[in-house]
Amino acid sequence: MLEELWLIPLGFIAGILGSIVGFGGGTIIVPILTFAGFSPTLAASNSLFAAFSNSVASTVMYAKQKRIEFSLGWKLGLIAVPGTILGAIISSDLSPEIFKILLALILLSSASYILLKRKIKEKPLDVSRMLLVFSAGASFFSGIISSIFGVGGGIIYVPLMVVALGISMKRAAPTSQFILMFACFSGLIAHSMLGHPDYYQALLLSIGAFAGGILGARLSLEIKETKLKIMVIIVIVAAAIKLIIDSTTDIF
């Protein structure tokens, strides 16, 4: 059991980055667990516990800072719930090789978003009916991704709110963390019913992620985003490349 205590600092570091960027930390946790030999379903389900813990801590802090769009967040969060259930079921039949390739694509998408983040122009909040319908579909799809890969779904929520709905970056990441409470909780329940997680490992990750969420929310007001972006992009791209190499090696 002591050999698994490294999961606490992993959750902590991922929690800090996840809270600041709004992704929930799964983009860091899942690749590392995969490299450590965890099966796809075990890595994803354990990560969802950490992402949920991180989202709770971050939401509490961001709520105090009054940076969450609650009226939009709870709607998108509830729509994500059926998607997370479907994603948990799909993950049971996903081969390790396909999982690694698909996760690598998700990670590269995350890195691309972070790299281009400052170039996205914010605009007045747009809540037209067509955009809300589109956002609902995107939220359902994000729920599927969240549950399959254990990455939380923030990679979709944050760009969606900024690009499509015109929400500022300072409010998009906090609102994403609020939405992830719904997506991650329903996802971890579904995975638990299917017998996927290791609860001791999930607890260790969650402890670190909770503390990281609190610190990340505080740092988000002060930290220089440029240096953080470079660091996160390097880690994510390196993880994606490693996953692609591993998956092609397994296939051939």
- Comparing 150 with 211, which gets the higher pLDDT? 211
Structural domain boundaries in the chain: 2-251
How many Å separate Cα 106 from the centre of its chain? 10
Q: DSSP letter at 121?
A: P
Average pLDDT, the chain: 83
At residue 95, the 3 state secondary structure works out as coil
The neighbour count for residue 118, using CB atoms within 10 Å, is 11
pLDDT in tens, 105-153: 877 877 777 677 655 555 555 555 666 677 788 888 888 888 888 877 7
C-alpha Rg value of the chain to the nearest Å: 16
Q: In whole angstroms, what is the distance from residue 168 CA to residue 158 CA?
A: 10
**Range 88-97 average pLDDT:** 81
Q: In whole angstroms, what is the distance from residue 86 CA to residue 71 CA?
A: 25
Q: In whole angstroms, what is the distance from residue 44 CA to residue 243 CA?
A: 15
- Comparing 163 with 198, which gets the higher pLDDT? 198
Torsion of CA 89, 135, 157, 86, to 10 degrees: 0
Lowest mean pLDDT segment, chosen from 11-15, 125-129, 203-207: 125-129
pLDDT in tens, 44-62: 999 999 999 999 999 999 9
pLDDT of res. 123: 52
Could you give the percent of the chain with pLDDT greater than 70? 86
The neighbour count for residue 15, using CB atoms within 10 Å, is 34
pLDDT in tens, 234-250: 767 877 887 788 777 66
pTM: 0.82
**Range 71-82 average pLDDT:** 89
